[in-house]
A and B are shown apart, each in its own frame.
Chain A
């Protein structure tokens, strides 16, 4: 039960929900940039949401499946296909031995998630299969996939794979804005919000910021109105997380992403609401975004709503697999 990598794509790494519990050692969390797509893909093939998926960035890999496998692809639409047959997204698909899964033109989004029933057979490091590129550990040999790699598929833990009879999904891949304007990214005030000038606060809440090409899994660098403090302050490094928006002295905000350091020493103007992190994960350099300030209460309500929705989807797929 293996997958042979014929072409690796631009950046294909195994990721799960992150390496939690070790941040006090300075060990970064990593994990899927678009947690929603990652979880959904796992759910569709009957995996626990904590199983690793392959995070595929912009240009997809070419993968030869050497055994029958059940896969699901969620997140960015990178035109997955087998031969001249399109592979539908957001549903379980059965692959036969010898099938070669490839990707083509990017239609929407930036990152696709490929889940395979049974998961990827790599050893967890500190409880996680996420790849930490800079540290060189986790995932597949601590690095992105390369041509010639052979990745094992784990044994499915339960059921017999009836899941692929599930009907077409009643849920949207909401993280990707399909047409028209991108919705604003919702944020809550950061600890240093009051220390930013009135102009900076106004600009942050009302003007557009552009995602620069210097953006990756560690952080998104934005360009727009320079955000200045009322008075310079001396910050002492403290905890930060995926979604923290910090502003270095040059005034250009940086949104910390999944591979961010555990601590940071720049003023924090805001924090992205967790439910909108998948939207960011699917944005392309050059795209612009606006921020909308919401209260912490609202952010947590949105978070709990999303968890309820996930549970609902999980129950409905479980239902389908029982009935089929």
Chain B
């Protein structure tokens, strides 16, 4: 496997039309900031042939068209892309990208919209209200979007709320469901199967295909969950465009 290391990142091929830039393999806000900084830089300074820049927790995937990176010098498209990246990153160090903005996400916790709240409380030896308070007070930050369009992986969950995924995933989790598993929170952006513990639901739309950008949240956003009542939820849900 041709992998090369430069500074705190290394390049790895993933097949013949994708390459992964990998930082230290640890879920950590500082590493994730480097990842986002690099992804933002690559979006602002596009390399010919690269069609998708996909930041994750500790990596940036670059999907590319090999035919756009072919040459007569005997170098493979992968080698040419690596060379272009190395030259670019030797010249200029993308800055770490800190928090971009804060987004308040209203949530109606518990009840039929948050069917796992009681179970989570029991597992954490807390009352449901304490779970709500701790979740709303946690400093959530979007590490990445994945799994489904607009689905955010949020770090920052209060350690007292760590619970494993559900033993049996649900076949359908409604869009807007606010859920936790291990040390992370998320919000289901579409109705999909899912195994996280659903503790509430937001009336906000996480993903709107026609919008630009199509997602409510972006990697790097700070998110604060704001408890609302069922009446407020219903009113906001009805009122959304």
A125 at the B interface (CB under 8 A): yes
Given contacts A25-B149, A26-B148, A241-B18, contact A191 B12 (CB under 8 A): yes
Q: Is the CB of B52 within 8 A of A303?
A: no
Q: How far is the CB of B137 from chain A (nearest CB, A)?
A: 26
Kindly state the separation between the CA atoms of A263 and B146 in the bound complex, as whole angstroms: 6
Q: Is the CB of A135 within 8 A of B146?
A: no
Query: Which residues of B (142-198) have their CB < 8 Å from a CB of A?
Result: 144-151, 153, 189-190, 192
A296 at the B interface (CB under 8 A): yes
Number of A residues whose C-beta is below 8 Å from B?
A: 48
Binding stretch for chain A, among B62-70, B101-109, B227-235: B62-70
B77: A residues at CB distance < 8 A:
300, 304
Query: Which residues of B (44-98) have their CB < 8 Å from a CB of A?
Result: 51-61, 63, 66-67, 70, 76-78
Kindly state the separation between the CA atoms of A22 and B43 in the bound complex, as whole angstroms: 12
Kindly state the separation between the CA atoms of A273 and B148 in the bound complex, as whole angstroms: 25
Given contacts A236-B27, A296-B78, A304-B70, contact A188 B13 (CB under 8 A): yes
Q: Is the CB of A238 within 8 A of B15?
A: no
B25 at the A interface (CB under 8 A): yes
Q: Which one, A20, A27, A28, A238, contacts B63 given CB within 8 A?
A: A20
Q: Is the CB of B76 within 8 A of A297?
A: yes
Q: Is the CB of A24 within 8 A of B54?
A: yes
A153 at the B interface (CB under 8 A): no
Q: Which one, B66, B76, B215, contacts A26 given CB within 8 A?
A: B215
A26: B residues at CB distance < 8 A:
145-151, 189, 215
Q: Is the CB of A237 within 8 A of B144?
A: yes
Q: Is the CB of B56 within 8 A of A263?
A: yes
Provide the A223-245 mask, 1 if CB < 8 A to any CB of B, else 0: 00000000000001111110110
Given contacts A135-B209, A237-B153, A238-B59, contact A191 B14 (CB under 8 A): yes
Kindly state the separation between the CA atoms of A191 and B14 in the bound complex, as whole angstroms: 7
Q: Is the CB of B16 within 8 A of A263?
A: no
Given contacts A26-B146, A262-B146, A296-B2, contact A238 B213 (CB under 8 A): no
A193: B residues at CB distance < 8 A:
1
Q: Which one, A24, A125, A237, A299, contacts B52 given CB within 8 A?
A: A24
A21 at the B interface (CB under 8 A): yes
B199: A residues at CB distance < 8 A:
none
Q: Is the CB of B66 within 8 A of A300?
A: yes
A15: B residues at CB distance < 8 A:
none
Q: Is the CB of A134 within 8 A of B192?
A: yes
B53: A residues at CB distance < 8 A:
24
Q: Which one, A21, A125, A191, contacts B51 given CB within 8 A?
A: A21
A134: B residues at CB distance < 8 A:
148, 190, 192
Closest 6 CB pairs of A and B: A239-B61, A271-B15, A263-B146, A26-B145, A299-B16, A238-B59
Footprint of B on A, CB under 8 Å?
A: 20-29, 125-126, 134-138, 188-191, 193-194, 236-241, 243-244, 261-263, 268, 271-274, 296-297, 299-304, 307
What are 6 A-B interface contacts by the 8 Å CB criterion? A25-B145, A126-B214, A236-B57, A300-B77, A303-B66, A307-B66
